Amino acid sequence: MSQSYPFLVFSGTKSRYLAEKICQYLNCPLGNMNILHFADGEFAVSFEESIRGKYVFLVQSTFPNSDNLMELLLMIDAAKRASAKNIIAVVPYFGWARQDRKDKPRVSIGAKLVADLLSVAGIDRIITMDLHADQIQGFFDVPVDHLYASAVFAPYIQSLNLEDLAIATPDVGGSKRASTYSKYLHCPLVLCNKTRAKANVVETIQVIGDVEGKNVILVDDIVDTAGTIVKAAEVMLDAGAKSVRAIASHCVMSDPATERIQNSRLTEMVFTDSIPYSKGCTKVKQLSIAEIFARAILGVIKNESISSQYLMM
């Protein structure tokens, strides 16, 4: 890469697709890095160009499996030992975020542990998007730039030109996020009360609010096995909704999520591309977040505010 650039962007293995798009917006090449894999599953990271005195942006979401997190930690450590000026982790999907508190005795707080690992490895800043819980920002002792997928979702919803629009959340925990969309789009808010039989298994969902004759958009941050989102759509359509679409920031989509979405009564399921998806569900659509991350990177380099790109918070 040309030495005229005051910053360098590198990517982990599984987030290269997104890093390349970010670099297109930044009008810079993607940095040259090598990841050597050993027969026993261990791997080693090396930067193939000088990063001394540079802003180094490391793009890597920490979605399953945990090799993605380990790869990011090694990238950070290698950058620190190569005398980078500032090391910024760009983590569109921050994994383990659902473990943000002790919800029963004798459990770990995984989100805090991962924050500590990244900090100890040597990051100076983290740029992430739609954390499962806003308070996770407080787990870090370095600055956190928390971006919002609403920057791409809100314009998309408006482009649909839906009449009788209603915003809904598939569980009470997402009420704040859904309320923000509801206020921005000037439409009613509907809540769902969900009970679980066990993890990833929904027992019942009750609708709180009127959906009759409405085109409903369900708002969530993560879709994992898709049980909740599919059940919520079914309940709302049974309650008289005209149509139900869903938007969610992070496309975890663990099996059997693809089959559930494909066979569901949802009109469409819209994600960002924070996590790659290639399982071929015709109802799944992904919107790119590359531009909002590129703008955030420029804001960091130029010491400019990035809050101007937030449509809503």
DSSP secondary-structure letter at 64? S
Residue 308: pLDDT band with limits 50, 70, 90 = confident
Please give the Cα distance from 16 to 275 (Å, whole number): 11
Q: According to the model, what pLDDT value does residue 3 have?
A: 44
Q: According to the model, what pLDDT value does residue 69 have?
A: 97
Q: According to the model, what pLDDT value does residue 5 have?
A: 66
CA distance readout (Å), 102 to 25, 39, 107: 40, 37, 6
Taken in order 176, 180, 183, 186, is the CA torsion positive or negative?
negative
Which tens digit of pLDDT belongs to each residue from 111-123? 999 999 999 999 9
298 Rama class: left (phi>0) / alpha (psi -120 to 50) / beta: alpha
Q: Which two tokens stand for residue 257?
A: 């999520």
Q: According to the model, what pLDDT value does residue 310 have?
A: 72
Q: With 70 as the cut, is the pLDDT of residue 1 above it? A: no
Name which of 122-131, 163-172, 211-220 the model is least confident about: 163-172
The dihedrals phi and psi of 66, each to the nearest 5 degrees, come to: -70, -10
From 14, 21, 194, 214, the catalytic residue:
194
Q: According to the model, what pLDDT value does residue 288 have?
A: 98
- pLDDT, average across residues 299-309: 87
Average of per-residue pLDDT values in the chain: 92
Of the candidates 161, 136, 128, the residue with the CA atom closest to the CA atom of residue 292: 128
Q: According to the model, what pLDDT value does residue 313 have?
A: 58
Q: Is the CB of residue 64 less than 8 Å from the CB of residue 94?
A: no
Q: According to the model, what pLDDT value does residue 276 have?
A: 96
CB contact set of 103 (below 8 Å; sequence gap of 6+) = none
Q: With 70 as the cut, is the pLDDT of residue 2 above it? A: no
Q: According to the model, what pLDDT value does residue 63 have?
A: 93
Which tens digit of pLDDT belongs to each residue from 141-168? 999 999 999 999 999 999 999 999 999 9
DSSP secondary-structure letter at 31? P
Q: According to the model, what pLDDT value does residue 90 have?
A: 98
DSSP string across 98-130: T--S-SSTT---HHHHHHHHHHHHT-SEEEEE-
Please give the Cα distance from 91 to 128 (Å, whole number): 5
CA distance readout (Å), 48 to 33, 58, 79, 196, 275: 5, 14, 11, 49, 26
The neighbour count for residue 34, using CB atoms within 10 Å, is: 9
Residue written as token pair 């945990």: 66
Residue 285: pLDDT band with limits 50, 70, 90 = very high
- pLDDT, average across residues 201-210: 77
CA distance readout (Å), 69 to 155, 169, 232, 268: 32, 30, 32, 31
- pLDDT, average across residues 185-192: 94
Q: With 90 as the cut, is the pLDDT of residue 4 above it? A: no
Question: Does 194 qualify as catalytic in the annotation?
Answer: yes
Mapped onto helix, strand or coil, the DSSP state of residue 33 is strand
Which tens digit of pLDDT belongs to each residue from 26-83? 999 999 999 999 999 899 999 999 999 999 999 999 998 899 999 999 999 999 999 9
Provide the percentage of residues in the chain whose pLDDT is more than 90: 83
Comparing 29 with 192, which gets the higher pLDDT?
A: 29
